[in-house]
Structure 1
């Protein structure tokens, strides 16, 4: 199986899906793409199926039992592990993540030896975001600072959703223990990888807000991120302590 899979979750992205697939494959026609769709009703599924007739490395999985960004990615991760892809990437369908940055994330893992490469909007406290209003920008930036402060994770952009994983990282995660389903899912995945001592690198990117379609961000997702982080930190510390105790008993 080809080593690179790009997972694109969709929910009513008919205005973007054709163009994002074409743009990704223009960067490298050998990339494989998995669209994980949450039962879109706007024609997204039909567009992907039509493209599959000419794109042999394009795959589609339609979920009907539940919705949520985190659950879509978990579905995609399990699919990727089963197919034995070596590098598995997350990216949005709305062009907020530039497909031309994909090789840079892969390079960090494949050539530089990192286990997790994050496309970072806030690396070294520099803000690289286009077309966000000031309120949303400050909220996102402060949320990342808050998460870093509470958890201690050495990552500037903790809520980033443009990521390249080595398969071994995703194979160690117990997905039944993932509690977040919205954008806080991104925080939880990074936190779990960090606790497992995987090597993480942030790669500076420019994030551009969508120009087509509707954002899925709402206040409940923000609340999940803000109020769930402390609970996640406590739970993570308990597991680390317990693991250490068991290791000492065995030595």
Structure 2
């Protein structure tokens, strides 16, 4: 497995302008899978930005976990607003319970592939993953043939949110270094939640069997992809701070993330002995 990073890094201003893809690339079926729980205020702005991209093949699949703030209803109204008679641009997958980010992503990514997506993009609804990078991620995936592309905060040119204090930045960097050291993925930002996957990679991962149920889903998925021989490519992004609402990062989620790398290593050792 070889993990590559760009050799020449554009300026931050250049990165924030969506790249222009040739028509044969911009029309590739791409589904953005966006799990939501109480994101009614953030979702309309994210949908508007995604729909404005020059990507005719792009669709947005909102996976809502029965949000009490009415996010599911907001998503349905957005679908009515943007869908065309012969073209579905936004669809909604309603789930009856809140049972974790990992389960929401697994359901949405499997649905996207079943509906014909050639590429699937994981993306948060809170605005922390800037929409402007989506064309670049698709272009990188197509140009390199990579199994997945990561919007990375930790390759050259990547940046964390300016609002983050030094302690939070150091903790985030340490967590990535810790996970990468234990799992040896070769990725700088293995915990990143902004990732684009080729459809066959998604199918190979058998998402219904992934055990992680929180943010550590991101780590497990990349680790399993690397072990299966898929190449990961990282491109630099400027990670943004959520503007509206509260973070879903709880102590239980952090503990799961800390234990996960060793559990994955143990499972791998058992599989080899078997």
Q: TM-score, normalised by structure 2?
A: 0.84
**Which structure is higher in helix share?**
1
Partner residue, 1:89: 121
Partner residue, 1:186: 218
Aligned partners of 2:149 and 2:208: how far apart in 1?
A: 24
Partner residue, 1:238: 270
Alignment deviations for residues 143-197 of structure 1 (CA, whole Å, 9 cap, x no partner): 1100111111100111100000000101111334312111111000000000001
Unaligned runs of 5+ in 2: 1-26, 84-88
CA contact (8 A) 1:2 1:32 kept: no
Note if 1:12 corresponds to 2:38.
Answer: yes
Aligned length: 242
Note if 1:113 corresponds to 2:145.
Answer: yes
CA contact (8 A) 1:36 1:72 kept: yes
Superposed CA RMSD in Å reads 1.8
Aligned partners of 1:239 and 1:127: how far apart in 2?
A: 37
Aligned partners of 2:42 and 2:209: how far apart in 1?
A: 32
Counterpart secondary structure, 1:111: helix
Given candidates 68, 71, 80, the residue that maps to 1:41 is 68
CA contact (8 A) 2:158 2:236 kept: no
Aligned partners of 2:273 and 2:232: how far apart in 1?
A: 22
Q: Structure 1 residues 240, 168: closer, same or farther in 2, change over 3 A?
A: farther
Counterpart secondary structure, 1:88: strand
Aligned partners of 2:157 and 2:262: how far apart in 1?
A: 23
Show the 5 A alignment for 1:133-148: 133-148=165-180
Aligned partners of 1:107 and 1:153: how far apart in 2?
A: 23
Counterpart secondary structure, 1:123: coil
CA contact (8 A) 1:71 1:181 kept: yes
Counterpart secondary structure, 1:161: coil
Of residues 141-150 and 46-55 in structure 1, the stretch that sits farther from structure 2 once superposed is 46-55
Aligned partners of 2:55 and 2:188: how far apart in 1?
A: 32
Aligned partners of 1:160 and 1:7: how far apart in 2?
A: 15
Note if 1:161 corresponds to 2:188.
Answer: no
Q: TM-score, normalised by structure 1?
A: 0.91
**Residue 112 of structure 1: CA displacement?**
1.8
Q: Structure 1 residues 185, 227: closer, same or farther in 2, change over 3 A?
A: same
CA contact (8 A) 1:124 1:156 kept: no
Task: Give runs of ≥4 in structure 1 deviating > 6 Å.
Answer: none
Partner residue, 2:107: 75
CA contact (8 A) 1:130 1:206 kept: no
